[in-house]
Amino acid sequence: MKFNIITIYPDFFKSFTSSTIIGRAIDRKLIEVNLIPLRNFSYDKNHRIDDRPISGGAGLILRLEPLVDALNSISSPSYKVLLGPRGKKYNQADAIRLSKKEEITLICGHFEGIDYRFNKYVDEEISIGDYILTGGEIASMVLIDSISRLITGVISEKSTEDESFNNSLLEYPQYTYPKEYDGEKIPDILFSGNHKIIDDYHLKESLKETIKYRKDLISSLTYDRKIATFYKEIKENKDGKLEENISKVLNKKK
């Protein structure tokens, strides 16, 4: 997967592309990040790439010509994404969809916006949320990070299966040692070694977390019989077959 980033501030990405998972993925040639400095395409002797808005208004607008020339400098076919407030709000389904592309170009907006005519040169506009950033650089990092981790080899396949927002569920609670701290104990079933029951326990806990913290995700949940049963038990605050099986397993271990 190749990412092209059209940006005014290429130095902004130095730490991002040289550290942790993204840096290792680049070193292993699983992903490529190609920084395209927008000022290189300026028509101005002072390398300005912005101008005042026509008919007045606050701030400055990115000019059309440098943006188009920067896009045209990319010789290979690329899916072009503009980071901006008019775009669809980004989610995990978008990350999965975009991870199937071979090459993506991310255009980082700045100042008060861009020349509106530039929109016809992109395939999609994406917003990472309803708040204001000083530019699209941070948003582009969000996309690169969330897409890259879905590419085979970047992280373990098991990790991507268990993460939050798979099937619109938050991830189940995770623990590590010590087994007990300040009166709080790790659930005993997690030490049982019964992986089938632990998997069901994790699923039900994920559903509980989602209902408690992100009810808005429930509407897009894909139901099967097990999830429907767990959902009904949680809403009615009742134990079910799972709790009965957990009790049997723990009693056997005593």
pLDDT in tens, 216-243: 989 888 889 999 999 999 999 999 999 9
Decide if pLDDT at 162 tops 60.
Answer: no
The mean pLDDT of the chain is 92
- Indicate the pLDDT class of residue 94, thresholds 50, 70 and 90: very high
How distant is the alpha carbon of residue 61 from its chain centre? Answer: 28
- Indicate the pLDDT class of residue 166, thresholds 50, 70 and 90: low
Six-digit token string for 174: 């995770």
Decide if pLDDT at 37 tops 90.
Answer: yes
Decide if pLDDT at 112 tops 90.
Answer: no
Q: How far is 39 from 7, CA to CA, in rounded Å?
A: 8
Q: How far is 106 from 214, CA to CA, in rounded Å?
A: 29
Q: Where are the alpha helices (DSSP H) in the chain?
A: 20-27, 64-72, 92-98, 137-148, 157-162, 195-213, 225-235, 241-253
Burial of 183 from C-beta contacts in 10 A (0-12 / 13-18 / 19+): exposed
Q: How far is 132 from 143, CA to CA, in rounded Å?
A: 17
Per-residue pLDDT, 19: 84
Q: What share of the chain is helix, strand, coil (3-state, %, to 5)?
A: 45, 20, 40
Q: How far is 88 from 97, CA to CA, in rounded Å?
A: 14
Burial of 96 from C-beta contacts in 10 A (0-12 / 13-18 / 19+): middle
Taking alpha carbons only, the member of 141, 145, 101, 138 closest to residue 123 is 101
Decide if pLDDT at 117 tops 80.
Answer: yes
